[in-house]
């Protein structure tokens, strides 16, 4: 059995009319049923996660989103400046062929021995 407590509240007329509209939309019998449902949703009764935020939390989130947006803009500009230009991405048709050293293998065989001999001296 649910134990109820009585709470008296004075509402401005505009808020009261909004409450009555909500009551009619939800097809609730009394304004107090509307208030109980609204408060239950607001506080997420039987749920450990809250679905509401304070004004301070919302302002902090807005600041973070603004800051993240600025960072994204800066990163986009940096990436655009780092991207290779079209000219540097194309390969020259007249490029010079690489040249390699001598293919005389007799010289290559003697060279390591000479290096070792000089090292041992």
Domain ranges within the chain, ordered by starting residue: 10-52, 53-84
Do residues 43 and 50 lie in contact, with contact meaning Cβ atoms separated by under 8 Å? yes
Give the integer Cα–Cα distance in Å for 55 and 61.
Answer: 10
Stretch among 23-32, 36-45, 58-67, 110-119 having the lowest mean pLDDT: 110-119
> How far is 115 from 67, CA to CA, in rounded Å?
61
Which letter does DSSP use for residue 48 in this model?
A: S
Q: What is the pLDDT of residue 110?
A: 52
Average pLDDT estimate for 31-48: 81
- pLDDT on residue 87: 56
Instruction: Average the pLDDT over 102-106 and give the result.
Output: 56
Report, as an integer, the average pLDDT of 53-68. Answer: 89
Other C-beta atoms within 10 Å of 4: how many? 8
């Amino acid at each position: 059995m649910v134990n109820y407590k009585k709470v008296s509240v004075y509402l401005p007329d505009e808020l009261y009319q909004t409450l009555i509209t909500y009551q009619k939309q939800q097809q609730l019998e009394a304004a107090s049923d509307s208030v109980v449902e609204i408060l239950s949703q607001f506080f997420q009764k039987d749920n450990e996660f809250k679905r509401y935020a304070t004004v301070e939390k919302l302002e902090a989130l807005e600041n973070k989103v603004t800051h993240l947006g600025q960072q994204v803009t800066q990163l986009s500009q940096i990436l655009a400046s780092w991207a290779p230009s079209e000219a540097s991405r194309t390969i020259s048709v007249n490029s010079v062929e690489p040249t390699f050293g001598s293919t005389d293998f007799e010289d290559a065989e003697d060279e390591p021995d000479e290096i070792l001999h000089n090292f041992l001296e």
